[in-house]
Structure 1
Amino acid sequence: MAPVEQVKTTRDGHLFVRFPDRKNLEMAKMEIQAISNISANEKGTLKPKIKVVYVPKDEDDIVANIVKKNPWINNLISENDDLKIVKEMAAKNDKYKPYTVSSNAHHKHEKLSMIEVIEYLHCIYSRCKVFACYMPYQRYKCQEFGHSATDCRNDQACPRCGENHKSNECASSIFRCKNCLKKGHSNTKHKTYDGNKCTV
């Protein structure tokens, strides 16, 4: 049997199994399909987004400029509104700004993922580096990722110290990231939502 990373029972009585990589997932699916009375379904992937960096701050309409300067994108989308900026991130310098761009229509997600295979997009004034960008939701109750609030069965965890209480009840002056601690990472002295320090 393929190695397993996590096993849990869902609210509707199904068994959720997480594997360390796709190779082991495919191996397990073949083994499960060989058993006639058990069916296995793969959980859907997160909706794809792309992170566009080195965008000049004086760009007016980022999405319209990307579509205008990259005509091949017109083969993937029907209108400019099919792409939208979902997040404008803090810039590290005064000249450029990074953005996260997503598809506006659900049926276009697979098409947007095709954009992820390229390295650059052209804007009006520059060539912008492109990265695949996935933004999983983090639960405020347990601080973990990848499940909804209604499906959360975990204990309450403080985002500051990792103990079993809410952040507004925390009296600790020492930060300890529960997620990094659980993964055995060396740097745990930060809050769970500190994206600049948390490697999880």
Structure 2
Amino acid sequence: MVGENLGEDTNVLILGGEVAPTRKIIEFTGKSGGNYNMMVHPRAARGRRSEKGESVLVRTGDRLFAEVLKTMQQKADVASLNVNINNVKKTSGGDIFIRLKGKGQAQTLKNAIKNKMEEVSVTTRNRGTVFSVIDLDPAVTSEEVKAAVEKQTGLAGLVEIKLIRNTKFGGQMCLLSVPNNKAGKLRELGTIKMGWSACRARERIVPLRCYKCLEYGHSLTSCKGEDRSKQCLNCGGLNHRAQECKAVSKCMACKVDGHRMDTMKCPEYRKLVLEKKD
């Protein structure tokens, strides 16, 4: 609040800020007596918050958190990687959660850690836009898909392949992620040329999921559920990943066999996706 005296009987109050604080000032000045001309200047609009950065999760396994972290810091030369680490935290399961500032750094850090510590499991976490690329022929590799998408969209170094798997139709499909602010290029392109095929690229709606309890609707940092981070997303078993699992799918949301909790066959997952579309 700025007050300016324009004479013996008149003051001008220039008020800025939100409505509630401004109302309190007006009520106070009204009680204090005197003649006032009041001008309210609304607070300048805030710019959009920058997108949250990526993160890297390092599984400690049977080793101590401090031991793995110390070894990792000694072997991985972060200073030479040009990555900006925001903070390092210990998850409730004893793993190492590294939050980064900015985009495009998680994969670089992951590769550096894996090159020096092959025995640990390292995964990246980001809030990029996910696309499914379908109609791939059976011989295509994830490296070839990554190279083709980066070349045809101009997103060099910004494409992350999440998985590639066979389909029941004799071909393959691939899930990949690109930064949110670059997704428009792949969305506009619509297809990726792979050899003789024009493969469709479709944006996927992925609800927010916690990587601790594996449930949807909240993140790891606010999770109060049980730690299921070491369980297979396909069958719920331990000591293997969903990509390697050959067991019957069991949904941890519906508690029934026949589908995973991250597919449209799951009623709970389908409901979340449709709500997000709306």
- Larger strand percent: 2
TM-score by length of 2: 0.37
Higher relative contact order (CA 8 A, sep 6+): 1
If each structure's helix is expressed as a fraction of its own residues, which one has the higher value?
2
